[in-house]
Amino acid sequence: MRNLMLKTLAALLALFVATPLLAANDGTLDTSLNPPMGGAGPFYGVPGLFQYGINLGGTGQYLNNDYVAATAVQVDGKILAAGFSWNTYLGVDQNACVLTRFNADGTLDTGFAGTGRIVVNFSPSSGENDCCFSAIALQGDGKIVVAGNTTVSTHGERGIVFRYNANGSPDNTFNNGGSGNYVIAGDNSAFSSVVIDADGTILTAGHSIYPGHTDEDFFYEAWAASNGNAKYWDWAAFNLGADNDDRAYAMVLEKDICIGHPCFLHDELYLVGSANNVVYTDGLANHDCAVVAYSKGLSDTRFNPDTGFGTGGKKSIDFPAGPTTEGDNICRAAVSRPGHGVIIGGENYFISPANGGGLASYWALAEVTLNGSVTRRDAYPYFQSIGFPGIFNGIYGLAREPNGKLVATGYAGTSDPDHQPSDAGVVRFNADFSRDSSFGGGGSGVVILSLDGLSGLIAHQREWATELTLDNHGHIVVAGERSALYGIDGDYDWLVGRLNTSDEIFRDSCDGVVPPAE
């Protein structure tokens, strides 16, 4: 009996040693983020990941479709999420801008704007409609800046920037000499990203049509922090062979870069997106990932093209991974590599035998140095680890942990025209772009974010991650969209989750950002 007990104890000890306890930074769901009960419409969630419906009561084709496009985490752990939702306003069906704040435990912060959320509709009589928020930035004084675009019947898209006080009330000092708490850019413009400069200037980036031209170019505009006055703006056209559809989707501001001896101290601004190239002979579109760099020295009053970067401040990048080199390269995310340049992420399309000779796509990552050289360029077949393969795979969000590791989020989906079913996921990469085996299950470096089964319809769910950020406890906050009944109008809701990762890190209240690792 004694020998049997010893053998059993030895077996249990061996099992314990062979199966180490999961560390707090392995990407497991943070169960302290609980589903915010009381959300309108169908609700599904588990601790650490939930679906949240806005459901403003719209009618018509899109009913209650809700999309989240941006997140930000305050110093106190409260989560801001921005996007848009379909509604009926003054008798017209249109998208409304939506900004919501959750407490650190996932409950709705009802002290924010009195209800927990802000809804913005433009009056159809003004010719403006379809308000959409796309980006958030936090000021050091607690004010919240959100950017996006509206559609004007006689002017096309127009970029918009709103500013709110910390409690969600409108900041009516921010109006560019007008009224209200917002500014509007020129005709045929849209903003996809926003950052705050060291002097408080608000920088927005996206695309716009240069006056007198007909094609879209990279575009950024600077707004005064004191009153929202437009300070300056700039266009950057790539003209790689097709003179249209050059769009910036992400923006990175890197402060206090030192170059050369003696040191030339300056700030660097990167706009990241895609530029249109000559269409392939078989008719396939041919976009390349693209980066524009601007520089501002100590004596400069604005950012100017960095002529030491690439060619005239611009660099295009092709990802020839896969069986063929044909197909688009679309980059939607970027993160600084302090003192060395920028890392960009997106989606690399190519013709694939696995999809019957049709298109497929890989996750794509590239590292671009301060002078525009591409030192690393990789693509990944899929992050999917469930029964169906990820034929289409794309990165939508990037963040850099203080230890230098890179976390990316996006989707993996099937060959369906809308890539459904699909799952959201997060991958953590080491500095050399290899997957971090300490993250995710089984050393995969991958965490799948899925609520499959909670709705009873496993095969038709679309879960898509579009944004992620780090909070000051080292968590990854990720957001996107979920449709439990894909293909049925009015069934898109927000997907919000939080993962355990990294150690607690210092985030100051001056600019609300995580200081980079030394």
3-state secondary structure 325-393: CCCCEEEEEEEEECCCEEEEEEEEEEEEHHHCCEEEEEEEEEEEECCCCEEEEEEECCCCCCCCCCCEE
**What is the rounded distance in angstroms from the CA atom of residue 164 to the CA atom of residue 142?**
9
Give the pLDDT of residue 272: 98
Give the pLDDT of residue 245: 84
Give the pLDDT of residue 230: 97
Q: Which of 134, 125, 55, 53 is nearest to 87 (CA)?
A: 55
Give the pLDDT of residue 29: 93
In sequence order, the 6+-apart residues with CB closer than 8 A to the CB of 511 are 138, 139, 140, 196, 198
Q: Is residue 453 helix, strand or coil?
A: coil
**What is the rounded distance in angstroms from the CA atom of residue 491 to the CA atom of residue 420?**
14
**What is the rounded distance in angstroms from the CA atom of residue 88 to the CA atom of residue 84?**
13
Give the pLDDT of residue 11: 35
The two beta strands, 264-276 and 247-259, are: antiparallel
Q: Which of 158, 78, 164 is nearest to 119 (CA)?
A: 164
**What is the rounded distance in angstroms from the CA atom of residue 6 to the CA atom of residue 308?**
70
Give the pLDDT of residue 413: 84
Q: Which of 211, 306, 298 is nearest to 255 (CA)?
A: 298
Phi, psi of 171 (to 5 degrees): -95, 95
- Are 440 and 423 a contacting pair, CB within 8 Å? no
Give the pLDDT of residue 10: 37
Task: List the 66-73 sheet strands across, edge first.
Answer: 66-73, 79-89, 92-102, 117-120
Stretch (H or E) spanning 16: helix 2-18
Task: Tell me which residues of the chain have a pLDDT lower than 70.
Answer: 1-25, 37-43, 58-62, 127-128, 153-155, 243, 259-262, 320-326, 354-355, 379-389, 453-460, 484-490, 502-518
Indicate the residue type of 65: N
* 3-class SS shares of the chain: helix, strand, coil, % to 5: 5, 50, 45
Indicate the residue type of 43: F
In sequence order, the 6+-apart residues with CB closer than 8 A to the CB of 62 are 86, 93, 489, 490
